[in-house]
Structure 1
Amino acid sequence: MLSCKSFAQSTNTLWYKQPAQYFEETLVLGNGKLGATVFGGVESDKIYLNDATLWSGEPVNANMNPEAYKHLPAIREALRNENYKLADQLNKKLQGKFSESYAPLGTMYLTNDKATNYTNYYRELDISKAISKVTYEVDGVKYTREYFVSYPDQIMVIKLTSSKKGALSFDVKFNSLLKYKTIVNDKTLKINGYAPIHAEPNYRRSDNPVIFDENKGIRFTTLAKIKNTDGAIVSTDTTLGIKNASEAIVYVSIATSFNGFDKNPATQGLNNQAIAATSLAKAYAKTYEQIRQSHLLDYQKFFNRVSLDLGKTTAPNLPTDDRLRRYAKGEEDKNLEVLYFQYGRYLLISSSRTMGVPANLQGIWNPYIRPPWSSNYTTNINAEENYWLAENTNLSEMHAPLLGFIKNVAKTGAITAKTFYGANGWVVAHNSDIWAMSNPVGAFGEGDPGWANWNMGGTWLSTHLWEHYIFTKDQNFLKNEAYPLMRGAAQFCLEWMVEDKNGKLITSPSTSPENIYIAPDGYKGATMYGGSADLAMIRECFIQTIKASKILNTDANFRTKLETALAKLYPYQIGKKGNLQEWYYDWEDAEPKHRHQSHLFGLFPGNHITPNQTPDLANACRRTLEIKGDETTGWSKGWRINLWARLWDGNHAYKMIRELLNYVEPDGVKTNYARGGGTYPNLFDAHPPFQIDGNFGGAAAFAEMLVQSDEQEIRLLPALPDAWSSGSVKGICARGGFELSLEWDNKLLKKVTISSKKGGNTKLISGEKTKNISLKAGEKLTINW
């Protein structure tokens, strides 16, 4: 085997001694649009290809259920009569179609039949470079492959070399679960195809779940071309290859006809064939080194902004899968923790750079034609959790695809608000897709209201607009982009709420995401009124919209309406167990340890519950988390770590980080033990199955443990665990447009450097010590604490 001494135990490299056998062992690459999932096989290297804009379907008819709102009076009447069973049944009348599904573009194979007996195999992904590498030996010849996906050149490149002249021979071929045709001409492998017009969610039974129509749906093109210095290019009708070379470079170009959420991709689409051909021609004219260099310059300007050091480690250097197994037994590996944090940032840079097309449930890496939960945008937590690390880990630009998507979904959402709820403004229910679908799902009455009918997605999404502003202090963005959308989300909430019997404002009907209550008569239901989660999100939305209106000195009358409504909201209630009530009444949960904790929104990601400003509510949140326990799915664990961090309990947050990194076998491995939430061999989050939100939520929590902020103050090391007694971090961002670097030792802050993007004032707090700061734009200050 290779000596491991040359590979120091790393904070930026995943590496393995064998090729991937399963998806959850692969190494993933991406430029925010083109995604590649690399197995690193020797005889046949399999690479799943994806494009962020390749989905089933076509523009949604938002006006699909034009008279749904007429059922509202009956639902509200049933709720006034406390007839929850009837309310559940009637609530099904407020349902529409399911979302479309993210599609797998296809699989590319690099085959070399002669390489059966190999030795010294090594496979890595260096996340500091966004480059993957495979090396192995056959009959004394060393073979190397290097892979990356370039954003500047919009191309995937694979460089293959052999240490012996003329020893390199391989073929490139392609297949897909979609409809496609392959031709080879001009020494180029050319694939053209199209996605389904509909793909049913994977959890629905159907005789015909995937429907293709050659005249409808998104078109795609994949081109592959080989550049060689020696050897001979060979081809068949469906393959392109090289014989007896020493070095070869494979260029892979991909494009789709997707031209926006409201354009028919078959009749108003982009010219995918021309776009792919242009990208290929431009990249092919450059050397490998030129493309590699511009890729590194582009990628590292984002990745290198943040560094984290959690102190000395005594962990041995092991392959990443073995490292995870060792860590799961409770062993120390601080550099694995740093690697996990930076891997989250790597995944966001790699999956979120296409305007209006955010990272989905699987980022951009999906091999299934009916992926789990359609690999869509689930807005009752998962789509938002994907972006919790965007601002505070210094990747504000990666937030832009989600912010652009909000603009799209507000357009369809205005129709949904009118037709489903009889209100102005805009609304989003709990699922969306590339077509900015906004209606509640459930197939027009088949769905359980527990998951199908929740309608606070727009309210939650709107808070991302404010977050982007408060981290960047970009007033043009606030005025021209954010505020009109925030206002529309708030407008819907104003009109949607009704008064309870005491004159307090509540939502009716209401559900709490995917959770079920037990009513006093024993009925287990979802539809009720005045759910705490709804009101928490509305509170945050109103607070932020009021602030934005004041900053812009605009809309005084509307602001007054919001202020009046805010004061009238049904207040939080603390239940008999000391918990924060999820329901209007102090009812029991059907599942006390349920994965969703939406009613704790005000603590995190919201900001209106804090241990110092609202200690009773913060303690009630703590009690809720204690009752729920720590054992939960991957994304839910990511959320709970952030909640514990906001309660300034670093040791509990750290305990759950260790659980989030619990080793989980790939889905295809038959194991005889429970497969709960955790982390797969390639560091993908195990919901299970793979869902990327746990990676993003978990990475965000690291930053939350080290720095917390609002518009007035920045708390330094607020949830530092004992395990991280010494360390440093550089480049973490705080609200107010500040950037920070910290050094600490023995759990005490030693040094802080703070800089300001736009100029401003803040208060630094660490332990008992505070310091007021005033900085001009671009000014930097270092303080020995």
Structure 2
Amino acid sequence: MKSNLLKKLFLVFICSSFGGKVVAQSNHILWYNQPADYFEESLVLGNGKMGATVFGGVNTEKIYLNDITLWSGEPVNANMNPEAYKNIPAIREALKNEDYKLADELNKKIQGKNSESYAPLGTMEINNFQEGKVSNYYRELDISNATSKVSYEIDGVRYTREYFVSAPDQIMIIKLTSSKKGALNFDIHSSSLLKSNAEVKDNILSMNGFGPIHENPGYAVPLSFILEKERGTRFTSLIKIKNTDGTVVSTASSLGLKDGTEAIIYVSISTSFNGFDKNPYTEGLNSKANASSNLNKAFTKSFDKLRQAHISDYQKFFDRVSLSLGKTAAPNLPTDERLLRYSDGKEDKNLEILYFQYGRYLLISCSRTKGVPANLQGLWNPHLNAPWSSNYTMNINLEENYWLAENTNLSEMHTPLLSFIKNLSVTGKVTAKTFYGINEGWAAAHNSDIWAMTNPVGVFGNEDPVWACWNTAGAWLSTHIWEHYIFSQDKNYLKNEGYPIMKGASEFFLQWMVTDKNGSLITSPSTSPENKYKTPDGFIGATLYGGMADLAMIRECFDKTIKASKVLNVDAEFSAKLETALSKFYPYQIGKKGNLQEWYFDWNDEDPKHRHQSHLFGLFPGDHITPLKTPELAKASRATLEIKGDETTGWSKGWRINLWARLWDGNRAYKMYRELLRYVDPDGKKTENPRRGGGTYPNLFDAHPPFQIDGNFGGAAAVAEMLVQSNENEIQLLPALPDAWDSGSVKGICARGGFEISMEWSAKMLKKVSVFSKNGGKTTLICGNKKQDITLKKGQKTEIVW
């Protein structure tokens, strides 16, 4: 009885502390009753360029700072292996002779350098000089306004902190208050894992340093940076305190406040990165001047003014989409406990909504810098030796980051990827010539970095072709250009930027493909991302010809390029060449197990439950396999997924949920969505019975493991895919609605053709739907057996009672 009373009093305290808002069992607030001990418990903020990882400590508040443009290295020498292409005929000859072992060895000669690494900028520590027992601790992240808060009491004094990272003002703000006059006493320190120095001058704590010129090329060994004094990306962080009372104090390397009641900390960071093709030292931006300018401009503004500008800017994106999944009986719990409860099979519809909207929050927060898309960790990397260099892994992970950009109404957040693809098409022209002997178009491979590296990786012959030699990224990435057009209807973008890049990708593959002994077009050499086959005689290898993943991606690339050429009424002759080529593609094969074959022959996988499912690309994210158009291929895709099973890594779960949604199996998709939200312990946490594997960490970050952000984005995209699917001519409403979501509503989900959808359903039946057209056009709405054609003018909206 006493504990229940205390809990009620605590909730009353929370509501009174933060404007009367009920924070428990929320669909937009993550909250906890203790500070974070591990990165996977922390709360993250970002403005698309600057990232902050907040731990919410009492005696010491630790905040990791990231800038999405701080990487090792400098512009890539795309001509690093100018005669690599001369090995292609020998590889093809080995494959023609079915000598796969020799082909694997020869394929290593088609390799270049590994990617550079995304680097952590620094750590900011706020040391609080408070003694006594802590009570009523509370920590939250409100994704509806992109602010974080911490509050606690010590000896009757209430301390609060509020944090946000502003896009309009390019600044991080931390407001500290105490309920007792003069009780705020703290100092601030800056440090970095990179080469740097910190000092205080004119009451500003500054830290300046530089990134390494090169990262040790291996992922599995300790990082060994090569530092050169006059090369590499420079970075700056500046911290300044605005106090209402008390005294700002400093030492040679710290800044603080003595006997204050309220203070605002302004944090400004910048780097010298000036574009993928500009040397960051000799042609770089002035990181000191830019950080100082942003700090000085923001410092003249009040906390309220900065906060309002930040929230207004953020909400113009976030508020476009809302989702309700009906009544919930889930109890009021902190997010980590809530996740544990949900992992045990309990109902919590608002947690499902929170995870969906958290994906959208993360994309807004980490993808607003031209030419620099979200990486493997989005924006938030604390490691000097980041997992997989925190790079751009382009055989799934980079693309999965952007599956929710268009359909969850965040088209602007797609721009960093689209502009990055343009950069790849520049270096990729050299890669096409030197690695593959192709003189038209551009190519990109498995990994990249901020310098738009496009070469196949592998440290010049030292890595396994199973991952290092894949070269089909250009085909996959070019489909994002079409997706942006077909959702946004931005014909100017398609004409001036997008289509030439799509054409270039298609030009490369048109020349790269060869014919098999039956005259069908295939790729040779070929690999299937990170997967290996097992031949009937027991050989396990990666290099072959006619891999189905290659053909699926190139099929989509050619199809979308043809469509783009017709929209723009250009290149009819080239479009005809692509159509002819498509008619000659080696067709899909269905294996003896009823599965869609991944390999040219009906071979087994080395690992039947392998995490990649690249050969199902035509089902999702592509659209040339559907239950209606290609029922046999859809059935074979289902068989493939059944063989692979549901237990897999975080990002792979995200992909499989979308695949099940495209098969219109809402209950199977929902089952895996629940598994994606399975609680995973922080990586460094030692417990008697640790919860490991793919799933979700306490702060809702995706567990690959370790943390990768792609699972968050893939899972969020899948929710939209369960509710709305579309092509250029049709919009499917509730195509994969699970039984668990029998009633609900959604507002603002986007469909191809430039439409926005809002709808309500009950007892799994659509009740009413509203369609808004951004640019005018016609489409057919489909739900169950009912169809309805609609034609709308630009800016027109129609409401239909279904």
TM-score greater than 0.5 by the shorter chain:
yes
Deviations 1:177-200 (A, max 9, x none): 001111111111011100111223
Q: 1:116 to 1:176 in 2, by over 3 A?
A: farther
SS in 2 for 1:274: helix
Alignment pair present for 1:4 and 2:11: yes
Task: Give the superposition deviation at 1:9.
Answer: 1.6
Alignment pair present for 1:693 and 2:728: no
Alignment pair present for 1:315 and 2:330: yes
SS in 2 for 1:210: coil
Q: Which moved more, 1:142-151 or 1:8-17?
A: 8-17
Give the distance between the partners of 2:131 and 2:636, measured in 1 at CA.
62
Q: Could you list the structure 1 runs, at least 4 aligned residues long, displaced by more than 3 angstroms after superposition.
A: 671-674
Give the distance between the partners of 1:115 and 1:592, measured in 2 at CA.
58
Alignment pair present for 1:33 and 2:49: yes
Alignment correspondent of 1:768: 785
Alignment correspondent of 1:482: 498
Alignment pair present for 1:452 and 2:452: no
Q: 1:748 to 1:19 in 2, by over 3 A?
A: same
Deviations 1:610-633 (A, max 9, x none): 000000000000000000000000
Alignment correspondent of 2:344: 329
CA contact (8 A) 2:113 2:217 kept: no
CA contact (8 A) 1:511 1:531 kept: yes
CA contact (8 A) 2:326 2:743 kept: yes
Mapping for residues 133-144 of structure 1, pairs under 5 Å: 133-144=149-160
Alignment pair present for 1:629 and 2:645: yes
Alignment correspondent of 1:678: 695
CA contact (8 A) 2:109 2:461 kept: yes
SS in 2 for 1:444: coil
Give the distance between the partners of 2:24 and 2:246, measured in 1 at CA.
37
Alignment correspondent of 1:430: 446
Alignment correspondent of 1:209: 224
CA contact (8 A) 2:132 2:155 kept: no
Mapping for residues 488-637 of structure 1, pairs under 5 Å: 488-637=504-653
Identity of aligned residues (%): 72
Alignment pair present for 1:396 and 2:403: no
Give the distance between the partners of 1:628 and 1:131, measured in 2 at CA.
40
Alignment pair present for 1:720 and 2:737: yes
Note the aligned Cα RMSD (angstroms).
0.9
User: Quick one: which of 740, 751, 761 aligns to 1:734?
Assistant: 751
Task: Give the superposition deviation at 1:563.
Answer: 0.5
Deviations 1:561-619 (A, max 9, x none): 10100100001000010000000000000000000000000000001100000000000
Amino acid at match of 1:114: Q
SS in 2 for 1:558: helix
Deviations 1:49-72 (A, max 9, x none): 000000001110000000000000
SS in 1 for 2:484: helix
Give the distance between the partners of 2:655 and 2:123, measured in 1 at CA.
34
CA contact (8 A) 2:24 2:333 kept: no
Give the distance between the partners of 1:558 and 1:437, measured in 2 at CA.
28
Alignment correspondent of 1:197: 213
Deviations 1:359-403 (A, max 9, x none): 000000001011000000000000000000000000000000000
Deviations 1:129-154 (A, max 9, x none): 10000000011000000000000000
Q: 1:193 to 1:776 in 2, by over 3 A?
A: same
CA contact (8 A) 1:165 1:246 kept: yes
Alignment correspondent of 2:18: none
Give the distance between the partners of 1:647 and 1:770, measured in 2 at CA.
19
CA contact (8 A) 2:34 2:138 kept: yes
Alignment correspondent of 1:107: 123
Amino acid at match of 1:128: S
Deviations 1:50-100 (A, max 9, x none): 000000011100000000000000000000000000000000000000000
SS in 1 for 2:657: helix
Amino acid at match of 2:623: N
Task: Give the superposition deviation at 1:203.
Answer: 2.5
CA contact (8 A) 1:725 1:746 kept: yes
Mapping for residues 158-173 of structure 1, pairs under 5 Å: 158-173=174-189
CA contact (8 A) 1:201 1:371 kept: no
Task: Give the superposition deviation at 1:233.
Answer: 0.4
Give the distance between the partners of 1:297 and 1:454, measured in 2 at CA.
43
Alignment pair present for 1:418 and 2:418: no
Q: Which moved more, 1:114-123 or 1:98-107?
A: 114-123
CA contact (8 A) 1:532 1:581 kept: yes
CA contact (8 A) 1:517 1:588 kept: yes
CA contact (8 A) 1:201 1:374 kept: no
Alignment correspondent of 2:800: 783
CA contact (8 A) 2:169 2:306 kept: yes
CA contact (8 A) 2:244 2:260 kept: yes
CA contact (8 A) 2:515 2:521 kept: yes
Give the TM-score normalised by structure 1: 0.99
Task: Give the superposition deviation at 1:118.
Answer: 1.1
Amino acid at match of 2:276: F
Alignment correspondent of 2:3: none
CA contact (8 A) 2:29 2:142 kept: yes
Deviations 1:692-747 (A, max 9, x none): 00000000000000000000100000000000000000000000000000100000
Q: 1:318 to 1:202 in 2, by over 3 A?
A: farther
CA contact (8 A) 2:680 2:691 kept: no
> What runs of 5+ residues in structure 2 fail to find an aligned partner?
1-5, 16-22
Task: Give the superposition deviation at 1:114.
Answer: 2.4
CA contact (8 A) 2:157 2:178 kept: yes
Give the distance between the partners of 2:332 and 2:522, measured in 1 at CA.
56
Give the distance between the partners of 1:690 and 1:201, measured in 2 at CA.
21
Task: Give the superposition deviation at 1:113.
Answer: 3.3
Aligned residues: 784
Task: Give the superposition deviation at 1:117.
Answer: 2.3
Give the distance between the partners of 1:214 and 1:662, measured in 2 at CA.
47
Give the distance between the partners of 1:103 and 1:8, measured in 2 at CA.
36
Alignment correspondent of 2:19: none
Amino acid at match of 2:707: F
Amino acid at match of 1:460: W
CA contact (8 A) 2:121 2:194 kept: yes
Task: Give the superposition deviation at 1:673.
Answer: 4.6
Amino acid at match of 1:706: L
SS in 1 for 2:757: strand
Amino acid at match of 2:523: T
Give the distance between the partners of 1:509 and 1:59, measured in 2 at CA.
29
CA contact (8 A) 2:731 2:780 kept: yes
Alignment correspondent of 1:343: 358
Q: 1:167 to 1:113 in 2, by over 3 A?
A: closer
SS in 2 for 1:782: strand
SS in 2 for 1:77: helix
CA contact (8 A) 2:117 2:391 kept: yes
Deviations 1:455-503 (A, max 9, x none): 0011100000000000011110110011000000000010000000000
Alignment correspondent of 1:743: 760
Amino acid at match of 2:735: P
Alignment correspondent of 1:77: 93
SS in 2 for 1:211: coil
Alignment correspondent of 1:176: 192
Amino acid at match of 1:746: A
